[in-house]
């Protein structure tokens, strides 16, 4: 009963989308009513022709011609209005799907990053595509079919009652049983369809992850393992589909056919016992015709229950995502005046149990340069995410320009802070769009940004210049060029605080020099927070903070930390030794080649 109540709530919400376009919905229902009246009038005319003409052996030319013309006109009218109502319902369905997809995509875009930590992208894509298509089928097939058939049945019952109320009782006895079958089917099929949808989502997620990580899969020789995983999911999906098919075979058409057959035998038996005195031949024909027309809509409606259940399950998933918690921002609309940043007694935990950061205190003045270093898992990237406002702090506060991040509105926060990550995302679009990112920026500003980061010369070599497509196979940027592109994006709309998360980890020395030059230019207008793996990039930092297991264990300048000969000194010595070994290897390689 609880599951049924949930479905009723989902169904009510799903139908509410159609009510936003009441004129179109009313017009579609009106067209259905006219088409149904025209459709059921045909057997009534034939019954009149049988009882008043054939049984009496009277065939007045004018009367027969009028009946034939009226029958033909009614059939044409029914066809035209059925076509018109189908167009109306399709338009209504497409409008609803557009609304739902827009709401769903907007909800996904506004969710906090923590929501994406445990949700594969394939599942989100499945909800945006497959689940919304189920809603379209709900309006085009389910709603249109139910309204059409309910109106058709009511009109036929009214006409049948006018012809013979006794025989109508035989047909009415069939309806409660059919409704009971439909209710049983809906309850038993809910779990099966929900499992089918979940498995389809898992299949999409598996495909998405496999394609995105194809290089890793092939390098680790895991092709067979991923194929086995995908095969297992598809096998489970097939079993779920077979279970639904068995349920359909038991409760849908066979049972309805049996009930309609019983009703048919009852009508024939009544005719056999009473003869033409109680039931005329024309009346029997009309009822047999209407019985077929009543049972077919009932069968059609029960068959649509599978689509109804799919739509309800899909809608549950869609509405759960639409109603999910959104990223929260403050209401402070005052622009950021300086890049002054402070972390006060800052602690954070992803799961609410194990702390990733503990009691972090630091201050960065405007135009200052702060470096964060530490071994993998020390909390550097987590601290950067808190500075960006991606996650709310568990304890303490992060301040920018003397104001808590939680108090800043979205435009103020996102214009005030920017981040360049280790592997910046490149859009499958032009250089211009990759730099502007949809912002109203002129080409001179874009060229100036590219010039500052040292990427303008490379772009000028492209035949299409700023119109060159990136990320689609035409031009592939190196890791260093992607970093420079990301910096150019920052220069277009200069923030007050720039965070670089391992931005120089996978680049050559030449690109590193370009980035350092760009940072020197940027520092004139903003503050810098650099998470560094290469310690050579942070030697000029005003303060270097060393993190270990989420805590600050050292802080100071490059020189002062070396003089203390602790963890920072050890990290520096190891890197110096590594660089020295690389130099020896290069020298040896050159000697062998010569």
Q: If you write DSSP's letter for every residue of 265-306 in order, what string do you get? A: HHHHHHHHHHGGGTS-HHHHHHHHHHHHHHHHHHHHHHHHHH
Instruction: Say which range, 5-9, 360-364, 463-467, 536-540, has the weakest mean pLDDT.
Output: 5-9
* 445 found inside a domain: no
Q: pLDDT category, 48, cuts 50, 70, 90?
A: low
Q: How far apart are the first and last CA of the chain?
A: 83
pLDDT surpasses 60 at 6? no
Q: Is residue 199 part of a domain?
A: yes
Residues 197 and 259 in one domain: yes
**Percentage above 70 pLDDT, the chain:** 77
Give the domain-ending residue among 322, 349, 367: 322
Same domain? For 216 and 124 the reply is: yes
Indicate whether 215 and 76 sit together in one domain.
Answer: yes
Question: Are residues 413 and 536 both part of a single domain?
Answer: yes
Q: Is the pLDDT of residue 278 over 50?
A: no
Residue 114's CATH number = 1.20.1560.10
498 against 68, higher pLDDT: 498
Query: Stretch 58-72: mean pLDDT, rounded?
Result: 76
Tell whether 331 is covered by a domain. no
User: Where is the domain boundary, 287, 322, 357?
Assistant: 322
Residue bearing the bigger pLDDT, 211 or 556: 556
pLDDT digits (tens, 9 = 90+) for 175-187: 777 777 767 776 7
Q: What is the CATH number of the domain that holds 511?
A: 3.40.50.300
**Does residue 140 carry a pLDDT above 50?**
yes
* pTM exceeding the 0.75 threshold for the entire prediction: no
Region 116-126: what's the mean pLDDT? 70
Residues in Cβ contact with 111 at an 8 Å cutoff, skipping those fewer than 6 apart: 324, 325, 326, 327
Exposure of 74 in the CB half-sphere (CA atoms within 13 A)? 17
Whether residue 70 is predicted with pLDDT greater than 50 in this model: the reply is yes
Q: Which of 363 and 503 is assigned the larger pLDDT?
A: 363
Closest C-alpha among 503, 566, 561 to residue 532: 503
Give me the pLDDT at residue 129, please: 78
Residues 40-68, mean pLDDT to the nearest whole number: 70
pLDDT, residue 354, reads: 85
Regarding whether 105 and 9 lie in a shared domain, the answer is yes
Q: What would the mean pLDDT of 336-347 be, rounded to a whole number?
A: 91
Q: Indicate whether 276 pLDDT > 60.
A: no
Same domain, 264 and 390: no
Asked if 382 and 356 count as a contact pair (C-beta separation under 8 A), the reply is: yes
Same structural domain, 216 and 355: no
As given in the structure block, the two tokens for residue 161 are 């009652």
Q: What percent of the chain has pLDDT over 90?
A: 10
Does 312 share its domain with 346? Answer: no
User: What pLDDT does residue 320 have?
Assistant: 83
Q: Residues 261, 266, 269, 273: what is their CA dihedral angle, to the nearest 10 degrees?
A: -170
Tell me if 372 is assigned to some domain.
yes
Higher pLDDT, 64 or 258: 64
575 with 496, same domain: the answer is yes
CB 523 within 8 A of CB 494: no
Contact 127, 92 (CB under 8 A): no
Domain that holds residue 539: 341-426+477-593
What integer pLDDT is reported at residue 587 of this predicted model? 59
Same domain, 280 and 363: no
Query: What's the confidence (pLDDT) of residue 277?
Result: 45
Mean of per-residue pLDDT scores for the chain: 78
pLDDT on residue 4: 45
Whether residue 434 lies inside any domain: the answer is no
Is 220 inside any structural domain? Answer: yes
pLDDT computed for residue 35 by the predictor: 80
Longest Cα pair distance anywhere in the chain, in angstroms?
A: 122
Listed residues 322, 350, 380: the one ending a domain: 322
Q: Indicate the number of domains in the chain.
A: 2
Q: Do the domain assignments include residue 137?
A: yes
pLDDT band at 282 (very low <50, low <70, confident <90, very high): low
Lowest-pLDDT range, 128-137, 182-191, 250-259, 437-446?
A: 250-259
The reported pLDDT for the residue numbered 423 is: 77
In this structure, the answer to whether residues 519 and 586 fall within a common structural domain is: yes
Q: What is the dihedral of CA 180, 185, 134, 129, to 10 degrees?
A: 150
Cβ–Cβ < 8 Å for 168, 157: yes
User: pLDDT (tens digit, 9 = 90+) per residue, 357-411?
Assistant: 999 999 999 989 999 998 888 888 889 889 988 888 888 999 999 999 989 998 8
Is residue 559 in some structural domain? yes
Same domain, 316 and 415: no
């Amino acid at each position: 009963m609880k599951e049924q109540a949930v479905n009723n709530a989902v169904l009510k919400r799903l139908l509410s989308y159609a009510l936003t376009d009441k004129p179109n919905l009313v017009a579609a229902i009106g067209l259905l009513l006219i088409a149904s009246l025209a459709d059921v009038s045909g057997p009534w005319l034939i019954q009149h022709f049988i009882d008043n003409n054939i049984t009496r052996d009277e065939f007045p030319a004018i009367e027969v011609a009028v009946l034939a013309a009226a029958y033909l006109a009614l059939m044409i009218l029914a066809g035209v209005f059925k076509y018109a109502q189908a167009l109306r319902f399709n338009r209504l369905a497409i409008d609803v799907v557009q609304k739902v997809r827009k709401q769903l995509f907007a909800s996904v875009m506004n969710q906090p990053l923590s929501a994406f930590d445990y949700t594969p992208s394939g599942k989100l894509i499945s909800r945006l595509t497959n689940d919304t298509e189920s809603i379209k089928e709900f309006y085009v097939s389910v709603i249109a079919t139910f309204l059409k058939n309910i109106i058709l049945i009511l009109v036929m019952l009214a006409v049948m009652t006018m012809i013979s109320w006794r025989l109508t009782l035989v047909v009415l006895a069939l309806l409660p049983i059919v409704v009971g079958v439909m209710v049983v089917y809906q309850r038993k099929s809910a779990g099966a369809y929900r499992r089918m949808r979940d498995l389809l989502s898992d299949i999409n997620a598996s495909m998405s992850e496999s394609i995105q990580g194809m290089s890793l899969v092939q390098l680790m020789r895991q092709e067979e393992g991923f194929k086995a995983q995908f095969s297992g999911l598809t096998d489970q999906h097939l079993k779920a589909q077979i279970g639904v098919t068995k349920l359909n075979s038991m409760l849908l058409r066979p049972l309805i056919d049996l009930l309609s057959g019983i009703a048919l035998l009852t009508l024939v038996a009544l005719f056999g016992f009473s003869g033409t005195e109680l039931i005329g031949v024309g009346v029997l024909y009309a009822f047999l015709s209407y019985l077929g027309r009543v049972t077919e809509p009932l069968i059609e409606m029960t068959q649509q229950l599978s689509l109804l259940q799919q739509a309800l399950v899909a809608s549950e998933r869609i509405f759960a995502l639409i109603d999910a918690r959104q990223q929260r921002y403050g209401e402070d609309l005052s622009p950021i005046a300086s890049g002054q940043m402070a972390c006060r007694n800052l602690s954070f935990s992803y799961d609410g149990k194990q702390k990733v950061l503990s009691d972090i205190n630091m201050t960065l003045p405007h135009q200052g340069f702060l470096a964060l270093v530490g071994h993998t898992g020390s909390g550097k990237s987590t601290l950067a995410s808190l500075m960006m406002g991606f996650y709310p702090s568990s304890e303490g506060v992060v301040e920018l320009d003397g104001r808590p991040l939680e108090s800043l509105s979205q435009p103020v926060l996102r214009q005030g802070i920017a981040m360049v990550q280790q592997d910046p995302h490149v859009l499958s679009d032009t250089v211009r769009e990759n730099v502007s990112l949809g912002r109203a920026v002129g080409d001179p500003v874009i060229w100036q940004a590219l010039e500052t980061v040292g990427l303008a010369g490379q772009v000028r070599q492209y035949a299409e210049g700023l119109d060159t497509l990136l990320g689609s196979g035409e031009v592939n940027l190196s890791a260093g060029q992607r970093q420079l592109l990301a910096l150019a994006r920052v220069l277009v709309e200069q923030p007050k605080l720039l965070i670089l998360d391992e931005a120089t980890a996978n680049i050559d020395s030449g690109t590193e020099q370009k980035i350092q030059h760009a940072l020197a230019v940027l520092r004139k207008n903003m503050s810098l927070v650099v998470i560094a793996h290469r310690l050579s990039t942070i030697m000029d930092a005003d303060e270097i903070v060393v993190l270990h297991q989420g805590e600050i264990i050292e802080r100071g300048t490059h020189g002062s930390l070396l003089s203390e000969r602790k963890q920072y000194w050890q990290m520096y010595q190891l890197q110096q030794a590594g660089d020295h070994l690389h130099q020896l290897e290069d020298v040896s390689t050159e000697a062998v080649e010569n």
